[in-house]
A and B are shown apart, each in its own frame.
Chain A
Amino acid sequence: MAPDQTGTATLTEDQVLARIRATLAEQKVPGAESASLDATWSELDVDSLDLVELVKTLEDEFGVTIHDEELKPIASVGDAVTLVLRLDVERASA
């Protein structure tokens, strides 16, 4: 979907989760399609380069900017979903 231009946060957890799963699947991460919110990068065998690619995809698709310092504590699929939803709200209220 195109980034929202109207100043309203519109993303849902399901949307972001679906995109993360799809990106991980494109990266041939085993079990990506059914990855739960609790699944950690370590459990999924997602390395730092995979994470860079995932961040790029999320930035391009959802119109958010993810800085390195925000990325450091992100250790699971759920952490990433929460971060994108928070950035979406911040972008809309900016």
Chain B
Amino acid sequence: MSAPDGGCALVTGGTRGIGAAVADALRERGWNVATLSRNGGDLQADVSDPEAVEAAFVETRERFGPVHVLVNNAGQRRDGLAIRMSAEDWGSVVDTNLSGAFHCTRRALDDMLSARWGRIVNVSSIVAERANPGQANYAASKAGLLALTRTVAREMARKGVTCNAVLPGVIETDMTADLAEGLVGAVPAGRVGQPADVAACVAFLCSEEAAYVNGAMLAVDGGLAA
């Protein structure tokens, strides 16, 4: 079965970096795209706040239609060694990157179950599987996303809903501006990735052609984790 008519693709953190590139890629493929972010975008909400997410989904349905594609991309970094990391820095990153994805997923699944069609893509990170000192909170949140991905994939597979993850490596965005240059030497491809590199993979996972890809972890890292 193909994607039902009248639905939309919701991209959280969709105004900058990887999220903006994903929104562009999905628009190019014909999706009616809604972007959600804390400031700006089509809808404003802090994804770590379940009530704000609920309100944003109500508004999304009114303005764009039911959510048939969800890309959980909203994320933040608050780096520091674990020994010095504050509870606030831990909690804030986990609340946004992991709990935020859960809040959005839970609400989107209602629409997807009704449609018996859905695509969820969680934007994880290569650090979910390969330690990067200074990012205990970020890595834990991104690893948690992988478990969430696999669980939802299994739960919803019979209903035409898939849930997959992409694991970007070193991607050139505002969020990694302080990191990218120093890490490029470690990337087998010899260059940092671009947001469009990730967006192309996300767009594939959202396509009808990817109907049998479910619970997959797709590294987009120039061979960094190979």
Contacts and interface: CB of A to CB of B under 8 A. Distances in A.
B55 to A, nearest CB: 19
Contacts of B159: 49, 53
Contact of B155 (A49, A53, A56): A49
B224 interface: no
B200 interface: no
Interface residues of A, number: 4
Interface in B131-166: 155-156, 158-159
A66 interface: no
A52 interface: yes
B160 to A, nearest CB: 12
A49 B110 contact: no
A57 to B, nearest CB: 8
Contacts of B110: 56
Nearest to A53: B113
A49 B110 CA distance: 11
Contacts of A56: 110, 113-114
Interface in B76-115: 110, 113-114
B91 to A, nearest CB: 28
B158 to A, nearest CB: 7
Nearest to A26: B116
Contacts of A52: 113
A21 B113 CA distance: 18
10 contacts: A49-B155, A49-B156, A49-B158, A49-B159, A52-B113, A53-B113, A53-B159, A56-B110, A56-B113, A56-B114
Interface of B: 110, 113-114, 155-156, 158-159
| 10 tightest A-B CB contacts, nearest first | A53-B113, A49-B155, A56-B113, A56-B114, A49-B159, A49-B158, A52-B113, A56-B110, A53-B159, A49-B156
